[in-house]
């Protein structure tokens, strides 16, 4: 029998089009998901090779992260402008050392090797 999870704490691997879309849906539909399905979820970490890596065990401000990326398009903007207690971690460290109990893997994929997602999934 598995333990019940009261709140899903998500580490998001990849913040490209799919990762940002996932974040936007979670942000916009949070109350509906809670009311309809009893789902409580928050993103605690974002790790992206271009935008950077940020982690806050209490949860990230999804709207702020989306705004920074959309507004500037600047490399590592999340690490430069988002005030998070932990920054600059690589994906493996993010998966291993955050308080996330869910990893959402939406990075690019090498079709021959399955990387980097394969390593992320094995690590999780």
DSSP collapsed to 3 states, the chain:
CCCCCCCEEEEEECCCHHHHHHHHHHHHHHHHHHHHHCCCEEEEEEEECCCEEEECCCCCCHHHHHHHHHHHCCCCHHHHHCCCCEECCCHHHHHHHCCCCEEEECCCCCCCCCCCHHHHHHHC
CATH of the domain at 43: 3.40.50.720
> Domain span at residue 96?
8-123
In this prediction, residue 73 has a pLDDT band, given cuts at 50, 70 and 90, of confident
**Residue 3 belongs to a domain:** no
Q: Is residue 1 part of a domain?
A: no
Q: Is residue 57 part of a domain?
A: yes
| pTM for the structure as a whole | 0.92
Q: Is residue 78 domain-resident?
A: yes
pLDDT in tens, 87-104: 999 999 999 999 999 999
Determine, yes or no, domain membership for 2.
Answer: no
Mean pLDDT of 32-57: 96
């Amino acid at each position: 029998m598995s333990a019940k999870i009261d709140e899903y704490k998500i580490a998001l691997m990849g913040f490209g089009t799919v990762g940002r879309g996932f974040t936007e849906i979670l942000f916009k539909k949070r109350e509906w998901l809670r009311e309809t399905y009893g789902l409580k979820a928050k993103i605690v970490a974002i790790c992206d090779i271009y935008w950077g890596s940020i982690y806050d065990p209490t949860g990230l401000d999804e709207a702020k992260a989306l705004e920074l990326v959309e507004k500037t398009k600047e490399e590592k903007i999340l690490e430069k402008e988002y005030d998070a207690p932990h920054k600059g971690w690589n994906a493996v460290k993010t998966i291993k050392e955050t308080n996330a109990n869910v990893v959402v893997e939406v990075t690019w994929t090498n079709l021959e090797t399955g990387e980097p997602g394969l390593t992320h999934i094995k690590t999780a």
